[in-house]
Amino acid sequence: MDYLANIKALLMLQDSAKDNLINVIIDNTKRALRVRLGLSASDEVPDELSYIVVEVSVRRYNRLKNEGMASYSQEGESITFNSNDFADFEEDIKAWKDKNNKANEVRFINPYARALSNRASSRASGRLLNDFSN
């Protein structure tokens, strides 16, 4: 996905004057999303969640110079900022994690599987093992 082009289209920016700034916002947003998804730094943001990078980046761009503010009011116009940029996407993030996260899997390992396998192969080759011998 071309994050930069999509964000510039949403912000109605025609030139490249703000490209470096937008790319920094994109990189930071992708890092934050990867942490929330439990992905490593080398993993890419999944395509099905790429819209989150775009939406959060637009929000962060629009909030520039107002970072840390809970609300802003000027001449009758009032803007309230959400303190968590990802709050509106938590359900989607949780659904993706539930579907894709290997950390939620439980695997049982049979500690006797190898011993049983070795015993079976020894018997198949004509040798009988004594389980009590050293």
pLDDT 10s digits, 79-123: 776 678 899 999 999 999 999 876 555 667 777 766 555 555 555
> For position 10, what pLDDT does the model report?
96
* pLDDT band at residue 37 under the 50/70/90 scheme: very high
Q: Residue ranges of the domains in the chain?
A: 3-124
pLDDT digits (tens, 9 = 90+) for 13-25: 999 999 999 999 9
Query: What is the distance, to the nearest Å, from the Cα of residue 72 to the centroid of all Cα atoms in its chain?
Result: 31
> For position 118, what pLDDT does the model report?
59
* pLDDT band at residue 130 under the 50/70/90 scheme: low
> For position 48, what pLDDT does the model report?
95
Residue 73, beta-bridge partner list: 78
> For position 122, what pLDDT does the model report?
56
> For position 19, what pLDDT does the model report?
96
Is it the case that residue 127 has pLDDT exceeding 60? no
Question: ∠53-56-62 over CA atoms, to 5°?
Answer: 135
Mean pLDDT to the nearest integer, 32-50: 94
Helices (H), the chain: 3-11, 19-37, 50-62, 90-100, 113-124
